[in-house]
Amino acid sequence: MSANRIRLKSILVLLVILITMVAAVAYGAVSAEGVRNRISSKIRGKYKVKNLVVKVVPFQSDYWTQRGRFKSIVISADRIERKGIAICNAYTKAFDVTLDIRKLYEELDVETKSRRKTIFSGRIYKDDLNKLLVFKDTPIEDLAIEFEDNKLVCTGTYRFGFGHSLRMVGELKVEDHRNVNFVPTAASVNGIPLPAGPLRAMLNKLNPIIDFQTIPLKPRIDKIEIKDNYILIKG
């Protein structure tokens, strides 16, 4: 190994040591229990939660704990709610996950820098889904959703002219493993098919129906099932 490479390697090792020392001074020694408490505090500060449980499992080496990397982190709750979205029986598990320790200790975020994979499951009940629609800025008044034969039926008054009766039948589809969009298979106003232009403009306001991009641990969403009175989401 050349002298320059040895010197460069020594400098990098020294930088890692210095960063660790600075973190230790700023936050104290990082521990799995401390991280668990911080995650719980951040979630309770940003969400309405019922029966929140957080578990942090460290690697055997404390080296990774000091750098915010953990074997697994589990976040579960009977109900978690924020900005209209309410998820019941929520469960997220991230494997080989690295958190941004600075943000965790200094800011209000549980920022996930990387994770090998995640497991996710949760339910969104029909009543909660309809409450979520109140936060949507759409040209539809009294927008409501019903479940029929594994489909979603959206009804309301389309704000155009004097107002017209809108009916859309469709499915929920996952986009980029993050967002859940409503995709209509039929749309009509007063029984007449809605033209593509107005329909597209309406969907741009309505979608995503559900946005998982801000959920802690960045779970990957893969599957949606429509049950009798709730949507089952899996990842």
Query: What's the pLDDT tens digit per position in 107-139?
Result: 767 888 888 999 999 999 999 988 888 778 888
Stronger pLDDT, 198 or 99, i.e. the higher one: 99
Which one of 77, 105, 125 terminates a domain?
125
Residues 95 and 63 in one domain: yes
* Rounded Cα gap, residues 111 and 223, in angstroms: 24
Q: pTM of the predicted model, to two decimals? A: 0.79
pLDDT 10s digits, 26-58? 556 889 999 999 999 989 988 899 999 999 999
Count Cβ atoms within 10 A of the Cβ of residue 60 and give its class: 0-12 exposed, 13-18 middle, 19 or more buried.
exposed
* Rounded Cα gap, residues 184 and 193, in angstroms: 12
Residues 119 and 35 in one domain: yes
Residues 3 and 42 in one domain: no
Residues 14 and 34 in one domain: no
Residues 82 and 131 in one domain: no
Q: Does the structure show a pLDDT above 60 at 20?
A: no
Give Cα 96 distance to the centre of its chain.
Answer: 18
* pLDDT at residue 48, as a whole number: 92
Which one of 80, 102, 125 terminates a domain?
125
Residues 97 and 137 in one domain: no
Residues 105 and 35 in one domain: yes
Single-letter amino acid code for the residue at 91: Y
* Rounded Cα gap, residues 190 and 194, in angstroms: 9
Q: Calculate mean pLDDT across residues 179-188.
A: 91
Residues 136 and 229 in one domain: yes
Residues 142 and 173 in one domain: yes
Residues 59 and 107 in one domain: yes
Residues 32 and 80 in one domain: yes
Which one of 125, 154, 178 terminates a domain?
125
* Rounded Cα gap, residues 167 and 155, in angstroms: 5
Number of independent structural domains in the chain:
3
Stronger pLDDT, 142 or 40, i.e. the higher one: 40
Residues 69 and 11 in one domain: no
* pLDDT at residue 1, as a whole number: 55
* pLDDT at residue 12, as a whole number: 53
Count Cβ atoms within 10 A of the Cβ of residue 168 and give its class: 0-12 exposed, 13-18 middle, 19 or more buried.
buried
Give the range of the structural domain holding residue 14, as residue numbers without chain letter.
1-27
